Amino acid sequence: MRRFAVVGVALSIGVLGLAPEAFAASARVAALQVGLRTHGFPPGPIDGIRGPLTSAALVAFQRENGIRRTGRVGRATRRALGARGRPLLGQRELAVGAVGWDVAVLEFRLRRYGLAVDGRFTAVTAVALRRYQRRHGLVPDGIAGLRTYRMLARRGRVQLHVVQPGESFFSIAARYRVSPWQLGRENGIPLTNVIVPGQRLVLPAGARLRTPAAAGSPAPRETVRVAIDRWARFYGVDPKLARALAWMESGFQHDVVSSVGAVGVMQLLPETWEFVDTVLLGFATPRTYYGNVQAGVRYLRWQLDYFGGNVRLALAGWYQGARAVGEVGLYDDTKLFVRVVLALYGTV
């Protein structure tokens, strides 16, 4: 704990170089909800949404503590919240045993990993944080410090979409030019689950509403489907499998770019596309929907060959990396990815 305390002092005087609370507004609301609930003022569910229950609870809390009833969270309100009102995220290093506003903000950002948001950094919090760190190429030490905060800051502010009648994961993903898989993972909901009107979905970072002017620019889905079938037959891949994977990754959209830089119909990382061009094909495929499909299907063929035709492991290798699958087995989210792709088999 000595290392935690010493570094915490250093971070609190600005070593991070980040603006206080440079993260999603909904995470701040969730931290407020945790603080209000801890003090006996029920704000409704800890969902990060500033609804009437949260607003009423805040005003009641301020009235009870002799604070001007502004409905805003200022210094006086934070002081009255005690340990649950400070410090802001990024002002200290967080590890097991920490309690505070910043812990609640962090937990809310990690909620897709099954965390309860209560402002207490426990061993369960550390496990979820390690998964986040591993996914984003950070050292998985379960401690929130400089690099973790910078990665969180790059994720941007949370955008919400309220599900309308007749909408699905795939139609919503197409509307915002994001991957259906990203959308489901962002909300901790398998794509095989049913979503209902009125349900709030968090949109992945980089989501942008498709405008009528841009709607006609990408290749039509049927054209993309034909390209997938063409290259699947050419490389000896089951077209139903290739289509299920492409639908899972992008919903047959070419203008999708993920938060980690994966692009196109097959959601290829630039380094993966370069590997296919350089090692597997020996020539550069065009950076079009057609070239993306060719490179993606060829990479799927490579995964199938690597795992001796085992479809489940090939899909796991696609998502997690072939070497990681061989060395550590399948992560939980990899298993979910594989399960959903196989559920889509023959349906698209």
Contact between 292 and 252 under an 8 Å Cβ cutoff? The reply is no
CATH 1.10.530.10, the chain: domain bounds: 221-344
Give domain 159-215's CATH architecture.
Roll (3.10)
Between CA 27 and CA 271 the distance in angstroms is 33
Q: Which residues are catalytic?
A: 249
**Backbone angles phi and psi of 142, in degrees to 5:** 70, 20
The CATH number of domain 2-154 is 1.10.101.10? yes
Delimiting residues of CATH 1.10.101.10 domain(s) in the chain = 2-154
CB neighbour list of residue 177: distance below 8 Å, 6 or more residues apart: 207, 208, 210, 253, 255, 256
- The CA dihedral of 183, 276, 338, 210, to the nearest 10 degrees, is 20
Q: What does each of the 348 residues of the chain score in pLDDT, given as a tens digit?
A: 333 333 433 333 333 434 444 344 478 888 999 999 999 999 988 888 877 888 899 999 999 999 988 777 888 898 999 999 988 888 899 999 999 999 999 999 898 887 889 999 999 999 999 998 887 777 889 999 888 887 787 654 557 788 888 888 888 888 888 888 888 877 777 777 788 888 888 787 667 776 554 434 567 889 999 999 999 999 999 999 999 999 999 889 888 877 667 889 999 988 899 999 999 999 999 999 999 999 999 999 999 999 999 999 999 999 988 888 888 888 877 898 899 899 999 998
Return the pLDDT at 23: 43
Q: Which two tokens stand for residue 190?
A: 């398998």
User: What pLDDT is stored for residue 33 in this prediction?
Assistant: 93
CB 87 within 8 A of CB 12: yes
**Interacting residues of 126 by C-beta distance below 8 A, sequence separation 6+:** 95, 96, 142, 143
Q: Which CATH architecture has domain 221-344?
A: Orthogonal Bundle (1.10)
Q: How far is CA 265 from the centre of its chain?
A: 19
